[in-house]
Structure 1
């Protein structure tokens, strides 16, 4: 057989393995996601457990090297590409959903909650790298600058998962409450600041690798100017022309991919470009997102996002953790909860909310979910953290997110309704968010 023929056979073999792997991933993620829902948890909890179960933590420890058999090395790059495509679509949806009617109705407590919910966990995270330096060092070392590592740990503790939070608010009928509006609005602000801080960590770790960081910042600012002054007006003009309504989903997808390529080429992660594209994608004349765009992203996300969970799960090895890692996990959970739940509660109270509403705000802000996993994946791939510390943070994200439902049941029995009309944010519109 010629070399060309062998290449075709090898390619077909890889394609078959990838297709089989994705079929298994999607099926198991769906089943465990449904199980999580029946247990009163967000579906993302079950989907993440599916990824961990298929990785070295469970399947990899069974006889027969099943993880290596199902996910051999030659298909991992392809699964990684699919996972990154899923993240691009997901972050575009997050950005596209961020500017909603509720963001124009800002209760006075929002600035207090947003600042406290971002700064407090950042300070606790950064401080923990000093006070627990030996424990962090015990998880292994990387070649990243120490300042970039400190900033990343701070970001890891500060994140709130807006999509999971939106789904919980919808399921709990909190969309018309002061607590729900404050938590969702503050979480959107916190996440935007968190992505900026994460970009700063990546700029520092990549300084001198791609180009000097001041040049990277200048190029990024130039790109933002192009988006605001040229791309967004052109897209708005195109999408509002008669007969171009149905072109919105492919235009949005192309915009997300192109923007992701730009930020990836600048030495940042592709997710930043996708998030920017979502923020700047023109909406309908009434300021609402296009339902067809959201539905398209939903359909793609239902298939692709579980692949990301498995790729993340393959990097999560609970069995490799040492006793000191487990101790670090416990401390990180306490700090993460104190920084979010505690700071959010006190800030909401300082902003004029009742103790009951303030408690709901604090609990909601402690939801991390998929957004945390995205940030951790970025940090792991950039060399900011090791595999063991990555596993510690993944477990922290699971525990804090899983605790949201039970804690919310305890504190949400008496929450104040938003005066006047309910907020304009229909958190149930985007199917992608509902699956999380």
Structure 2
């Protein structure tokens, strides 16, 4: 009882600890209300959270005497400082954990040029205005140089956590310009923090000692993490995630590292980021950290942190014309310098003007490090008075509050900046980055889908960002007429428990794939009724700007070689995705002789796979060729393109051809004057690029009708482990006449359905490709 009374402070219940707790709770509640209103106006979450802080702070409710006494207690600053320490540590570690290091290295020149362009102009403007501000704020002349450095850093700095959160809320984080903004902000923030640490180290005459201590402690934690992550992954082979004690151990290393650095040097933000970026990304350890920390950071830590920025905004400080002028000058200079510096960098990089303006406002977002600059500079670099301190905080808040809505407005006016320029691989540069979304309904589908992704990834230098969605049917089992304690175990499950052991098997297969290929697959889960699952797939494909969606066929092969149907809902979902997907779609039919997967053996990286692409003409077949171009670059794939032509076109050749004979022409393109002009132009380009170099084989087969086409397919049925074919879009082709009479699955198209049929003697898997339909009419014309 005595301990309880002491804990709640019997004499004064409203102590600094309870005050901070209630303040954070109030910020979360009020920000949620603002978010509901502003979300409809397209505004990002940080704006709502800063406004919540404004309402609760000295500008709003804290004007009331009792509220102000409760929230602004003498010893509360220490609690806020500790909370800020944990906030910075966790979200910088998470940012490092989610950062794509390979992309940064690939775009290092572009990102650093944009980051340093805005920062350098901002620093120059900051130095120019600092003399005027120092005089107006009447600060100590002895530390004038320190004030100059702080203002220079504030105008040059960009808050990457704010940029990331705004980009996520406005859904441009996965676009090319969005990723450029995020990684430019990371480079900017890390550079500014390094400069600030260097300044403090020189001031304390301990720069080299601080530097070596930080590097040593960071490297020790990075090394321990690599060992511990591998050990925990092996230790939890039969579990979905790490246990809580294991998770706590990893976070304890991070906390210990940060505390040592903060005690003996200046700031641990860079160290936490480096530890996150160097943490092994494969296996359960990284997956557990991302899942647990993402919810905590994005739903609690960052909202409170942004809210606390607004909470420190005190409008009463703007009580004179000079104070208003100082704030206006700082805000205008910050925005102007960022935009002008970024535009100059974009002009040098030949980036369009509208992109430059958008990037400029992104890099003008301010945040936590500005507060660090002001706070840690106190009494060491600058002797702040209360007016100067608060006016600088006001400029930080106003900068972010202005930039957030402007970015939302620019997004609405410049939709083309954030949409996929090419949604088909036919117009996609084979050397450019490819974003794919693979869907699985259970462990049975994983091997075929992963083998397809591995093949499409081609050679390892070819950039690819793969996503995988585990689609789970939501079954309404819960009874509503009983109490909670009367429910069965399966009725009490929440979304996290859906999928059961399937999740474990899928994760293990993906981990093995990542280990073998070094390709990190981002896994997510969608739980919904079959009637709505397609919406989840299409929304994710649109948000992630994917160019390809890969779906498993609703049938699977039995031991006797026959194809057996799974749930009908799987087929319905596939059909709806084909109709509504914002990009090209491929359906993989996994087959193999005697029930042994054939093409899936590609994952073993042992045997060479023979792959054939069938070309009859039309947009889907051209898309299939485009997919094949990437697949052909895989070191264990031998690709042959087989073009089917009517025997009537053989009259253009010098020799007569019997209508029942096949002419096979390797490494030649004999009949470009026949068929569709678009098809011919596309094949001519493909031939000159891939066939003449010897990378791809080319065959032409002459047939008269569907029966001869079937006979030709039977002849090659056991020669290839994978057949790639377009779904349709060929119009009324005489080459497939009569083949649709026994069609079972129209979603595979005429040829794809034949190859996937149990009655057809083909042992290879089948990949059916549908090119993105830009209009409903194109879809109906198939």
TM over 0.5: yes
Whether the 8 Å CA contact 1:376–1:394 is kept in 2: the answer is: no
Q: Is residue 2:214 matched to residue 1:223?
A: yes
Rounded to whole Å, the distance in 1 between the matches of 2:466 and 2:52 is: 31
Q: Secondary structure at the match of 1:40?
A: coil
Alignment partner, residue 303 of structure 1: 300
Whether the 8 Å CA contact 1:51–1:312 is kept in 2: the answer is: yes
Q: Determine which of 220, 234, 239 is the counterpart of 2:229.
A: 239
Q: Determine which of 40, 44, 62 is the counterpart of 1:60.
A: 62
> Taking structure 2 as the reference length, what is the TM-score of the superposition?
0.47
Rounded to whole Å, the distance in 1 between the matches of 2:57 and 2:364 is: 27
Residues 123-134 of structure 1: pairs in structure 2 closer than 5 A: 123-130=124-131, 133=132
Q: Determine which of 280, 284, 294 is the counterpart of 2:281.
A: 284
- Deviation (angstroms), 1:265: 0.8
Alignment partner, residue 370 of structure 2: 375
Whether the 8 Å CA contact 1:187–1:365 is kept in 2: the answer is: yes
Whether the 8 Å CA contact 2:43–2:170 is kept in 1: the answer is: no
Alignment partner, residue 316 of structure 2: 319
Residues 57-136 of structure 1: pairs in structure 2 closer than 5 A: 57-62=59-64, 64-70=65-71, 72-73=73-74, 75=76, 77-106=78-107, 109-130=110-131, 133=132, 135-136=133-134
Whether the 8 Å CA contact 2:53–2:308 is kept in 1: the answer is: yes
Whether the 8 Å CA contact 1:107–1:182 is kept in 2: the answer is: no
- Deviation (angstroms), 1:224: 0.6
Q: Secondary structure at the match of 1:10?
A: coil
Whether the 8 Å CA contact 1:93–1:297 is kept in 2: the answer is: yes
Equivalent pairs, count: 412
- Deviation (angstroms), 1:263: 2.0
**Cα gap change, 1:246 to 1:198, in 2 (>3 Å):** same
- Deviation (angstroms), 1:129: 0.5
- Deviation (angstroms), 1:250: 2.4
- Deviation (angstroms), 1:298: 2.6
Alignment partner, residue 350 of structure 1: 348
Residues 146-165 of structure 1: pairs in structure 2 closer than 5 A: 146-165=144-163
Residues 347-426 of structure 1: pairs in structure 2 closer than 5 A: 347-368=345-366, 372-380=367-375, 382-383=377-378, 384=382, 385=384, 386-411=389-414, 413-414=416-417, 417=421, 419-422=432-435, 424=465
**Cα gap change, 1:224 to 1:366, in 2 (>3 Å):** same
Q: Secondary structure at the match of 2:69?
A: helix
- Deviation (angstroms), 1:344: 1.1
Say which is worse superposed, 110-119 or 66-75, in terms of deviation.
66-75
> Taking structure 1 as the reference length, what is the TM-score of the superposition?
0.80
RMSD: 3.6
Whether the 8 Å CA contact 2:331–2:399 is kept in 1: the answer is: yes
Whether the 8 Å CA contact 1:47–1:309 is kept in 2: the answer is: yes
- Deviation (angstroms), 1:168: 4.2
Whether the 8 Å CA contact 2:62–2:68 is kept in 1: the answer is: yes
Q: 1:142-191: CA deviations, max 9, x gaps?
A: 69833232222122112223233334445555456543343233222112
Rounded to whole Å, the distance in 2 between the matches of 1:148 and 1:199 is: 13
**Cα gap change, 1:41 to 1:202, in 2 (>3 Å):** farther
Q: Determine which of 5, 17, 28 is the counterpart of 2:30.
A: 28
Report the structure, 1 or 2, having the larger helix content. Answer: 1
Q: Secondary structure at the match of 1:413?
A: helix
Report the structure, 1 or 2, having the larger strand content. Answer: 2
**Cα gap change, 1:408 to 1:334, in 2 (>3 Å):** farther
- Deviation (angstroms), 1:270: 4.7
Alignment partner, residue 49 of structure 1: 51
Say which is worse superposed, 169-178 or 298-307, in terms of deviation.
169-178
Rounded to whole Å, the distance in 2 between the matches of 1:345 and 1:178 is: 17
- Deviation (angstroms), 1:24: 2.2
Select the structure with the greater relative contact order (CA < 8 A; seq sep ≥ 6).
1
Answer with 1 or 2: which has the greater Rg. 2
